[in-house]
């Protein structure tokens, strides 16, 4: 029977990894070849990604992976590198948490009002959408020299293969794509004077993206030809592809640095009500829409843990589980938590300012964060069902947060729905599965999900039945 071996390069905001996936009719095995830190660097210019360290990590990973049938690359969204006329990278890619986009959206809205932007692109407002980053960059010398813009996975793919393209799922996070046509929003770009020829042609998940260059083969010890296959190069697109749902009535939460909570739909929801609720319509595989809300996620905890000098996480979570529930909660969607630094103080301040008990110990602050995240999950899933007219009876949690049992349990309680947690490496699995499908080894989207459900360990959490308490807390938060 046919089998294949695929390397998934999956870059997250705090670490990157190269995973090797083996796929057969009844097998889906994933092994880590190499994991490396992704440490953003603050230079005098601002907060930057260390793209050379990431590329070096990718090469080390491919060497460790050994011979594979194909390679796919996914990463976080919106960010990009600019290339000059010779194809050379101009500067280090700017981090989406950089301050350059402060106050920029208002200027863009003076040309195209926020409501029109939403009607055209369906993208939720986030200060870092590529559109606003471009508006912030346009007066710089660097931008004047830019002839090409490559999103992060497309930039790494270009370095690996020498071929340029713009993968669609990630392109949908630029706020320059029309989710109905799944093509550029030409009219919007013209009104905002954005030159779409900066972007190389669109490619779809599953499309060929070139062969590893001979220098790359030399450096990694692989023997060619090794194709690179476009995947859902937005990590969230890959993660949703690997949600082990068995029917249609499911919600998902992709957890990691962010919590991305919502539904998979066939058509976008572009209503004014949806805009007001800050829901986004990103594009997924096979004509699907990822209708979701971005929630600040475990970033809140990661930043606290960093401030506390990296205490043992397991112990911290055990202590947090013993802290009384729902004493103080913050709005885990609030953009005021976006920037790095001083997170424990910022959370305490948000509690103080809203007249709630101020959490003091690391365990209390951790409990406040997890209760707040569970509430934000509840609200996103409730709002998504109402706005899209699509109800669910199970919540799938995938990604790194599945290792946080307390978060999974609280989310089940808050939503009043069973939670199925796993797989943790959903983005890498989705990346592998799209490559496997392009190589004829798995069937449609349902077949991919079924294979994940049959092969990966999953944990089920039943809600405690204490929903009244969570409803009351949600109402308190809404009316503050």
Q: Is the CB of 127 or the CB of 256 nearer to ligand LFR?
A: 256
The residues, ordered by sequence, that sit 6+ positions from 295 with a Cβ below 8 Å of its Cβ are 258, 259, 260, 261, 332, 333, 373, 376, 377, 380
CA–CA distance, 325 with 93 (Å, rounded to integer): 41
- Output DSSP code: residue 124: P
- The reply on whether position 238 binds ligand LFR by CB under 6 A is no
Q: Which of residues 106-135 bind ligand LFR (CB under 6 A)?
A: none
Candidate list 5, 130, 236, 288; residue touching ligand LFR; CB under 6 A:
236
Q: Which of residues 19-78 bind ligand LFR (CB under 6 A)?
A: 76-78
Judged by CB under 6 A, the number of residues near ligand LFR is 14
Counting Cβ atoms within 10 Å, is residue 215 exposed (0-12), middle (13-18) or buried (19+)?
exposed
Candidate list 235, 331, 383, 413; residue touching ligand LFR; CB under 6 A:
235
CA–CA distance, 94 with 99 (Å, rounded to integer): 10
Report strand pairing: 250-255 vs 394-399.
parallel
Distance of closest approach, residue 321 Cβ to ligand LFR, in angstroms = 26
Of 54-62, 228-236, 348-356, 457-465, the segment contacting ligand LFR by CB under 6 A is 228-236
Q: Is the CB of 71 or the CB of 237 nearer to ligand LFR?
A: 237
Distance of closest approach, residue 306 Cβ to ligand LFR, in angstroms = 18
Distance of closest approach, residue 294 Cβ to ligand LFR, in angstroms = 5
Q: Of the residues 74, 235, 371, 383, which is catalytic?
A: 235
Q: Is the CB of 161 or the CB of 236 nearer to ligand LFR?
A: 236
- Strand partners of residue 364: none
Q: Is the CB of 226 or the CB of 426 nearer to ligand LFR?
A: 426
The residues, ordered by sequence, that sit 6+ positions from 301 with a Cβ below 8 Å of its Cβ are 366, 369, 370
CA–CA distance, 419 with 408 (Å, rounded to integer): 7
H helix runs in 389-479, sequence order: 405-415, 426-438, 445-455, 467-478
Q: At which residue do the structure tokens 């005021």 appear?
A: 336
* Length of the chain, in residues: 480
Q: Is the CB of 73 or the CB of 222 nearer to ligand LFR?
A: 73
- Strand partners of residue 6: 21, 70
Q: Is the CB of 149 or the CB of 326 nearer to ligand LFR?
A: 149
Is 235 labeled as catalytic in the residue annotation? yes
Candidate list 90, 176, 260, 368; residue touching ligand LFR; CB under 6 A:
260
Of 233-241, 315-323, 337-345, 441-449, the segment contacting ligand LFR by CB under 6 A is 233-241
Q: Is the CB of 155 or the CB of 474 nearer to ligand LFR?
A: 155
Residue 268-307 contact track with ligand LFR, rule CB under 6 A, x = bound: --------------------------x-------------
Of 33-41, 105-113, 250-258, 298-306, the segment contacting ligand LFR by CB under 6 A is 250-258
Residue 147-166 contact track with ligand LFR, rule CB under 6 A, x = bound: --------------------
Q: Is the CB of 175 or the CB of 411 nearer to ligand LFR?
A: 175
CA–CA distance, 99 with 101 (Å, rounded to integer): 6
Of 112-120, 175-183, 231-239, 361-369, the segment contacting ligand LFR by CB under 6 A is 231-239
Distance of closest approach, residue 342 Cβ to ligand LFR, in angstroms = 21
Residue 295 host element (H or E): strand 289-295
For residue 360, how many other CB atoms are within 10 A of its CB?
10
For residues 133, 138, 142 and 145, what is the CA-based torsion angle, rounded to 10 degrees? 120
For residues 356, 358, 362 and 363, what is the CA-based torsion angle, rounded to 10 degrees? -40
Distance of closest approach, residue 260 Cβ to ligand LFR, in angstroms = 5
- The reply on whether position 404 binds ligand LFR by CB under 6 A is no
Distance of closest approach, residue 207 Cβ to ligand LFR, in angstroms = 20
Contact between 338 and 296 under an 8 Å Cβ cutoff? The reply is yes
Contacts 24+ apart (CB under 8 A), 207-214: 207/165, 207/438, 208/438, 209/157, 209/161, 209/163, 209/165, 210/157, 210/160, 210/161, 210/162, 210/163, 211/161, 212/62, 212/71, 212/160, 212/161, 213/160, 213/161, 213/162
Distance of closest approach, residue 412 Cβ to ligand LFR, in angstroms = 22
Helix, strand or coil, per DSSP, at residue 43 = strand
Report strand pairing: 70-75 vs 259-265.
unpaired
- The reply on whether position 96 binds ligand LFR by CB under 6 A is yes
Distance of closest approach, residue 74 Cβ to ligand LFR, in angstroms = 9
Q: Is the CB of 239 or the CB of 350 nearer to ligand LFR?
A: 239
Largest CA distance in the chain: 64
Candidate list 49, 258, 299, 470; residue touching ligand LFR; CB under 6 A:
258
Q: Which residues are part of the catalytic machinery?
A: 235
Residues that bind ligand LFR (CB under 6 A): 12-13, 76-78, 96, 234-236, 256-258, 260, 294
């Amino acid at each position: 029977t046919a089998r294949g071996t695929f390397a998934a390069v999956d870059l997250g905001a705090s670490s990157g990894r190269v995973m090797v996936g083996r796929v057969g009719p009844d097998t889906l095995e994933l092994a880590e070849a190499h994991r490396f830190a992704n440490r953003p660097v603050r230079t005098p210019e601002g907060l930057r990604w260390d793209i050379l360290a990431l590329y070096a990590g990718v090469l080390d990973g491919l060497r460790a992976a050994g011979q594979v049938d194909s390679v796919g690359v996914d990463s976080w969204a919106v960010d990009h590198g600019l290339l000059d006329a010779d194809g050379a990278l101009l500067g280090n890619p700017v981090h989406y948490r950089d301050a350059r986009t402060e106050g920029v959206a208002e200027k863009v809205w003076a040309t195209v009002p926020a409501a029109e932007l939403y009607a055209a692109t369906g993208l939720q407002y986030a200060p870092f959408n590529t559109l606003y980053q471009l508006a912030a960059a346009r007066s710089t010398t660097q931008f004047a020299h830019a002839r090409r813009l490559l999103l992060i996975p497309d930039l790494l793919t270009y370095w690996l293969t020498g071929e340029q393209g713009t993968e669609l799922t990630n392109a949908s996070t630029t706020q320059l794509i029309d989710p109905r046509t799944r093509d550029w929003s030409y009219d919007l770009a013209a009104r905002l004077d954005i030159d779409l020829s900066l972007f190389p042609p669109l490619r779809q998940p599953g499309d060929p993206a070139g062969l590893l260059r001979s220098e790359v083969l030399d450096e990694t010890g692989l023997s060619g030809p090794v194709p690179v296959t476009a995947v859902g190069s937005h990590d969230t697109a890959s993660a949703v592809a690997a949600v082990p749902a068995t029917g249609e009535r499911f919600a998902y939460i992709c957890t990691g640095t962010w919590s991305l909570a919502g539904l998979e739909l066939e058509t976008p929801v572009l209503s004014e009500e949806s805009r007001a609720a800050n829901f986004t319509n990103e594009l997924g595989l096979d004509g699907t829409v990822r209708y979701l809300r971005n929630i600040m996620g475990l970033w809140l905890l990661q930043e606290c843990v960093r401030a506390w000098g990296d205490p043992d996480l397991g112990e911290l979570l055990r202590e947090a589980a013993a802290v009384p529930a729902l004493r103080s909660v913050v709005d885990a969607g609030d953009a005021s938590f976006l920037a790095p630094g001083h997170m424990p103080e910022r959370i305490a301040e948000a509690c103080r300012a809203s007249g709630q008990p101020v959490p003091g110990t690391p365990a209390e602050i951790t409990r406040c964060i997890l209760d707040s995240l569970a509430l934000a999950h509840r609200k996103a899933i409730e709002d998504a069902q109402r706005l899209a007219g699509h109800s669910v009876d199970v919540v799938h949690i995938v990604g790194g947060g599945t290792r946080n049992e307390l978060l999974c349990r609280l989310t089940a309680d808050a939503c009043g729905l069973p939670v199925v947690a796993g797989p943790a490496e959903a983005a890498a699995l989705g990346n592998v599965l799209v490559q496997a499908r392009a190589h004829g080894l798995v069937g449609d989207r349902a077949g991919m999900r079924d294979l994940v459900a049959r092969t990966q360990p999953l944990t089920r959490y039943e809600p405690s039945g204490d929903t009244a308490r969570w409803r009351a807390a949600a109402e308190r938060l809404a009316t503050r």
